[in-house]
Amino acid sequence: MSHLKYQGVAEKLSEGVTLLQKIDGTNAPLNYIEAKVLAMATSSEYQEILEKKEVCVVVLTGKVMVSDSQQTFAHLGTRKSVFEKIPTDSVYLSAGETLTIQAETDAKVILCYAPSEKKLPTALIKATDNQIEHRGIYQNQRLVHTILSDTSPVSEKLLVVEVFTDGGNWSSYPPHKHDEDNLPNESLLEETYYHEMDPSQGFVFQRVYTDDRSLDETMTVENGEMVVVPKGYHPVAVPDGYDSYYLNIMAGPIKKWQFKNDVAHEWIIDRK
């Protein structure tokens, strides 16, 4: 079994709140990223005190209210399925804040964490604030919604991105990595992938590998699973007939996304 793929936990936290995924340094080879995926029934509530970490709450589906005990943002969320392929609402809270989420409808949220002790303002990141980009050509096309970029002043370390890849296409491709603290050439960023598929019985393939192949794993990833990328290249292949969604969390010592392509496959960028 892969030590980089996580099938989920389905743990009941409270009435109406189920923990679907939990990734942190205790169960994954990560130093800079934690993640939780929550399924929330209408009127349920989740609360957490942020100790030495920042969080970006992304409303995957449904509608919720998010509060830091001083500010409250209601009616967040724009879609019933991530495969509507429209941006969604998110909220950023810094270390020391008390996070409260209340579900206005049945909802699913992902909590994206990075270590931080810096006090920053709580920020609503509206769906209309997302940067939308179409990347790639031929069978390497995907739609990208950037929630927190490396130039965003909202967070200290967190980068958060949604990616939609249609069936028969590759994503995170050509293979690239960002595992060396060697700016301006390359930055050190860990990364996680939260995957969903449409239809839900689908799967994708993801490979994580290093130049020397000391790490080289190819995984079959199914709906609701997560993949962690502590280092190395990490392309994703989507079979025909199924569409892929994943949410990326990236974090490292410096909030800069500077990647290096696998030179063996970099030639595809210049295809005519």
Phi and psi dihedrals of 269, rounded to 5? -60, -35
> Is the pLDDT score of 272 beyond 70?
no
Give Cβ neighbours of residue 82 (< 8 Å, ≥ 6 apart): 60, 61, 162, 164, 196, 245
Please say whether the beta carbons of 249 and 21 come within 8 A. no
Q: Give the DSSP letter string of 47-96.
A: EEE--SEEEEEEEEES-EEEE-SS-EEEEE---SSGGG-----EEEE-TT
> Is the pLDDT score of 1 beyond 80?
no
Residue 25 CA, chain-centre distance (Å), reads 16
Closest CA to 79 of 100, 106, 42, 43: 106
Q: Are strands 186-188 and 243-251 parallel, antiparallel or unpaired?
A: unpaired
What is the pLDDT, as a whole number, of residue 217? 97
Please say whether the beta carbons of 115 and 177 come within 8 A. no
What total of structural domains would you count in the chain?
1
Determine the average pLDDT of the residues in 99-123.
97
**Which residue range is the domain that position 193 belongs to?**
5-270
pLDDT tens digits for 24-72? 999 999 999 999 999 999 999 999 999 999 999 999 999 999 999 999 9
pLDDT tens digits for 127-174? 999 999 999 999 999 999 999 999 999 999 999 999 999 999 999 999
CATH number at residue 30: 2.60.120.10
Determine the average pLDDT of the residues in 216-237.
98
What is the pLDDT, as a whole number, of residue 166? 97
What is the pLDDT, as a whole number, of residue 224? 98
> Is the pLDDT score of 2 beyond 80?
no
Which pTM does this prediction carry?
A: 0.97
pLDDT tens digits for 165-203? 999 999 999 999 999 999 999 999 999 999 999 999 999
> Is the pLDDT score of 78 beyond 90?
yes
> Percent of the chain beyond pLDDT 70?
99
Instruction: Indicate the SS3 state at residue 149.
Output: coil
Mean pLDDT estimate for the chain: 97
Q: Are strands 190-198 and 186-188 parallel, antiparallel or unpaired?
A: unpaired
